[in-house]
């Protein structure tokens, strides 16, 4: 089966992609992980997004996908991405954006993934203590060595992306893709930087793909939290969706959005994904899914009719910042 694709930055990506941040670690049996990934690929989700620290714990998701690549997965049909930037091992060269860390981490990722190259290697976060020339030079080495086909950046603010693009241009490195958080509850990518352009403007102006992560606000943009915190939810598991973010005010907006979705015959996740995809500058929404049912529901957004003007107008007052931007200090704050 195929899904609609959008093209940008030299990449052709399905409009819905699968991320392996939270549900591919030690607490999920490998058989369940494998079933979900094979189901996704079978449904046309040929873009699998990883990072050195995904699982949890770190490295677990890459180990799992490596096992699948060695037996089940059609490597060359897939876009496999990974990143380095967060803590992977102790010491100053175990996180951030130094050449030593990025290139060592990429080698380790390739070993775990049991593949010779990834399709995109990302700088996972801006590093204020390492010159951009060094970070982007490491990405360039990764591409020149053939260990990565494309280079990307994640959660760099609009201003930092402008700066990164200037450095990349100077050293002859195409920056193919930006991966920012974007959802109805986290709209920092729309806010202007100091030159008046938002991250979406900057990325589109440079021809970069935009892969929007956490488009469901980590599950907040579903009906799951409308009547308390379900035991099997990310918020209950002590994951990165913090229970204190689920305030009455936020849940009132989620309830209103669920009502707008229901009136249009959509579910809230479908509405939330269609809303991010309403902007043609977004190349793909990067969903997390814990079950095949969740994934199947999210995939309906790939072929659903676009939101009409009445729906967009009704959504607008409720598509508000909900204080759920874990990545703010690297993105929207600067």
What residues make contact with ligand NAP under the rule CB under 6 A? 19-23, 49, 124, 154-155, 179, 213-219, 222, 224, 233-234, 269, 286-290, 294, 297-298, 327
Distances (CA, A) of 235 to 217, 225, 230, 249: 12, 9, 8, 17
Phi, psi of 175 (to 5 degrees): -95, 110
Which pairing describes strands 175-179 and 5-8: parallel, antiparallel, or unpaired?
Answer: unpaired
The least distance separating ligand NAP from the CB of residue 127, rounded to whole angstroms, comes to: 14
C-alpha span between 334 and 323 (Å, rounded): 16
The least distance separating ligand NAP from the CB of residue 277, rounded to whole angstroms, comes to: 13
The least distance separating ligand NAP from the CB of residue 117, rounded to whole angstroms, comes to: 19
Residue 31 or 196 having the CB closest to ligand NAP: 31
Q: What are the residues whose beta carbons fall under 8 Å from the beta carbon of 299, sequence distance 6 or more?
A: 3, 16, 43, 44, 45
Contact assessment for residue 129 and residue 89, using Cβ atoms and an 8 Å cutoff = no
Contact assessment for residue 1 and residue 42, using Cβ atoms and an 8 Å cutoff = yes
Residue 115 or 298 having the CB closest to ligand NAP: 298
For 20, which DSSP code? -
For 22, which DSSP code? S
Residue 140 or 219 having the CB closest to ligand NAP: 219
CB atoms within 10 A of CB 205: 12
The least distance separating ligand NAP from the CB of residue 113, rounded to whole angstroms, comes to: 14
Q: Is the dihedral of CA 222, 25, 135, 149 positive or negative?
A: negative
Nearest Cα to Cα of residue 206 among 168, 262, 239, 249:
168
The least distance separating ligand NAP from the CB of residue 115, rounded to whole angstroms, comes to: 17
The least distance separating ligand NAP from the CB of residue 240, rounded to whole angstroms, comes to: 8
Q: What are the residues whose beta carbons fall under 8 Å from the beta carbon of 127, sequence distance 6 or more?
A: 85, 96, 97, 98, 135
Residue 140 or 214 having the CB closest to ligand NAP: 214
Q: In degrees, to the nearest 5, what angle opens at C-alpha 3 toward C-alphas 305 and 34? A: 125
Residue 120 or 195 having the CB closest to ligand NAP: 120
The least distance separating ligand NAP from the CB of residue 258, rounded to whole angstroms, comes to: 11
The least distance separating ligand NAP from the CB of residue 196, rounded to whole angstroms, comes to: 25
Residue 34 or 234 having the CB closest to ligand NAP: 234
Residue 21 or 126 having the CB closest to ligand NAP: 21
């Amino acid at each position: 089966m195929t899904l609609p694709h959008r093209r940008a930055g030299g990449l052709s990506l399905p409009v819905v992609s699968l991320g392996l941040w939270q549900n591919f670690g030690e607490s999920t049996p490998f058989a369940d992980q494998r079933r979900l990934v094979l189901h996704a690929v079978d449904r046309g989700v040929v873009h699998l997004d990883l990072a050195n620290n995904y699982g949890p714990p770190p490295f677990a998701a890459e180990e799992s996908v490596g096992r699948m690549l060695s037996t089940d997965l059609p490597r060359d049909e897939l876009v496999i991405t990974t990143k380095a930037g967060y803590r992977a091992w102790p010491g100053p060269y175990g996180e951030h954006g130094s050449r030593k860390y990025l290139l060592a981490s990429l080698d380790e990722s390739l070993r775990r993934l049991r593949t010779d190259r990834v399709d995109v290697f990302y700088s996972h976060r801006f590093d204020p203590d390492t010159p951009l020339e060094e970070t982007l030079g490491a990405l360039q080495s990764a591409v020149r060595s053939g260990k990565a086909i494309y280079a990307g950046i994640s959660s760099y603010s609009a201003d930092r992306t402008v700066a990164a693009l200037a450095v990349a241009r100077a050293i002859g490195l195409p920056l193919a893709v930006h991966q920012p958080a974007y959802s109805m509850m986290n709209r920092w990518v729309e806010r202007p930087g100091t030159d008046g352009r938002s991250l979406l403007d900057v990325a589109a102006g440079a021809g970069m793909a935009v892969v929007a992560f956490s488009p469901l606000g980590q599950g907040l943009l579903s009906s799951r939290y409308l009547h308390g915190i379900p035991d099997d939810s990310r918020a209950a598991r002590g994951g990165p969706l913090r229970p204190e973010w689920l305030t009455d005010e936020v849940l009132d907006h989620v309830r209103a959005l669920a009502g707008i979705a229901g009136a249009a015959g959509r579910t809230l996740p479908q509405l939330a994904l269609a809303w991010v995809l309403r902007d043609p500058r977004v190349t793909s929404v990067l969903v997390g899914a814990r079950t095949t049912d969740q994934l199947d529901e999210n995939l309906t957004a790939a072929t659903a009719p676009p939101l009409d003007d009445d729906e967009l107008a009704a959504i607008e007052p409720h598509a508000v910042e909900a204080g759920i931007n874990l990545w703010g200090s690297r993105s929207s704050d600067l």
